[in-house]
Amino acid sequence: MQVERRTSILRQWLGMAILTVVILVGGVMLEITSDGDKEEWYIDAWMVLGIAALASHLVLVSLPRVRLERAHRELEQRHARQCTILEESLEEMRHGDLVEFLGRVDQLPEVMSEAVQAAAQAISALVQQIQTSSVEVATSAGTVHATSAELVEGASQQAAAVVEITATTEELARTAGQIATSAGGQAEFVAKAQDAGNKGAISLEGAVQGVGELRHGIEAIADRADILGKRSREIYRVLDLITEIAQETHILALNAAIEASAAGEHGDRFGVVAEEVRRLAERSRESVESVRQLLDGFSESIRSVVVATEEGSKSAVQVLEQSRSTQDAIEQLRSALADTAGAAREISLATDEQRTASNQVVLTLREISEVIQRTADSFQQFTDSAERLSGLALSIQLLTQSFRTDSGHSLKNQVLGWSDRLRDSTANLEVVEGVLAEVVRNFPYIEIAYLVDTSGSMVAFEVNRTVVEDHRLKVTVSPGQAFADRPWFQAVSRDQRTAVTPPYVSLLTDDRCFTIAAAVRNRSGAMIGILGVDVNVRSWTSI
């Protein structure tokens, strides 16, 4: 092209140059010529040269220009066709149909077609890569979301635990203060108790001495009582002797009375005397008996005294032993009180230090609590970011799904393939239901696949029973149901192209889902229905 253009320009300048040379040469020759004959000859020569110049201009300039203009027009026409093809192709690309785009760019010049196909394939690969990456991002975002949610929960629990520990430590600090106060008071009490113990030890020493003296007194009483017992036994022996004498006297009196009676009248006086003797013996015996009774009481009293003194002595000994034990105990108590006083002072100091340390711990824990709270907030932001990232990844996936690529991951391509299978079978309900059942069976993330006619009325549908519960189906979907107001129906009806809706909440599962709808066309290209599938986002992303 550049060579032809240079040649054309050269030819234009060549014609102009020849004319200029002819005119200049003719003028110069007319100027320098004074002879009439030569002037005529010069004019004829100038005319011949002029004609030759015109002829050469015609041959060298005008004819190539005409050919060039014809070629230019042909080029413009071809360029317009290519622009049309390119426009149509770009229109397909604008709607994301890379498959149709690649089919159309075949009509472009080879160089251009190869370049555009390469670009389209690069875009397709990029879309698939973006889709794959968005899935990975969504998966990672889900993992990050779950992890950060656990971290948030853990941080919250940690914060709660720290708050609880802080409260406990504060209580510990208060308790330590109370213990310090109590220990101080205890030290004072112990000091008082030590004084009391010292006084008690002194008093107990006096008591021990008093008990010892009492014991000696009791032993003296016991000795006196023993002496009295011996004396009373001697008195008993005397009484026994008196009793025996009285008895002998009584017997003598009886025998005397018998003898006096046997003596008759001569013995009467003697009998009287014997009777008096007998009575005297009787009285002696009665007196002895009284004395014996008194002595028995006396002896009993002495025995009681002896027993009492023995018991008193034993009690005194016990009291003395107990007093000595008590003295030892008081001594040990004094030692223990001294130890206790020391321990109480140490406890007071230790609990004071503990209170100070606890207060520092409380301050540290509060800082930790604030840090944890900030961490929890950060984690919460992290969770929110992960959630947003997950939503963003989903949006990216949906955006990538707005491209139709020649890939099994392209839902648009899948739906268009299914719509092609229904091309001549929309009137055969069994075929339609078979295709829909196959779709639902082979693609578990599809909640429901359905076919509506051009008026938006439901023709047939197939529900994925593993995703949708039966009771929801009965109230939300039925044949003949109108779907003309649905965005996907309006978009496909309006643009005659496959449509992907933004995510929305499914009435069947309460999960997020989106709809892909494609036109079903007959062999003449006229739209005879719309095939739609609702994709469950949760199942789709998990797959």
- The binding site for another protein (CB under 8 A) comprises 247-248, 250-251, 253-255, 257-258, 260-262, 264-265, 268-269, 271-272, 274-275, 278
Q: Which amino acid is at 307?
A: V
Tokens of residue 50, six digits:
């002029």
The CB-of-269 to another protein minimum distance in angstroms stands at 7
Nearest-approach distance from CB 318 to another protein, in angstroms: 47
- For residue 278, give Cα distances in angstroms to 240, 259, 288, 289, 290: 18, 14, 15, 16, 18
Q: Which residues pair with 516 in a beta bridge?
A: 500, 533
Closest distance between another protein and the C-beta of residue 212, in Å? 54
Q: Toward another protein, which CB reaches closer, 254 or 338?
A: 254
- Distance (Å) of CA 152 to CA 94, 163, 368, 374: 43, 16, 15, 11
Tokens representing 514? Answer: 């989106």
Q: At its nearest, how many Å lie between another protein and the CB of residue 259?
A: 9
- Whichever of 239 and 432 has its CB closer to another protein, that residue is 239
Supply the minimum distance, in Å, between the C-beta of residue 266 and another protein: 9
**76 or 268: CB nearest another protein:** 268
Q: Residue 275 or residue 438: which is nearer to another protein going by CB?
A: 275
One-letter amino acid of 48? V
Q: Which residues pair with 449 in a beta bridge?
A: 462, 533
Look up residue 388 and give its amino acid: R
Ranges assigned E (strand) in 158-310? none
Shorter beta-carbon distance to another protein: residue 162 or 246 = 246
- The nearest distance, CB 283 to another protein, in angstroms, is 13
Q: Which is closer to another protein, CB of 173 or CB of 246?
A: 246
Task: Give dist(CA 147, CA 387) in Å, integer.
Answer: 12
- CA–CA separation, 448 vs 445, rounded Å? 9
Cα 395 from Cα 154, distance rounded (Å): 30
Residue 275 vs 352, nearer CB to another protein: 275
For the record, the structure tokens of 377 come out as: 């907030």
Shortest reach from residue 262's CB to another protein, in Å: 6
How far apart (Å, rounded) are the C-alpha atoms in residues 176 and 170?
9
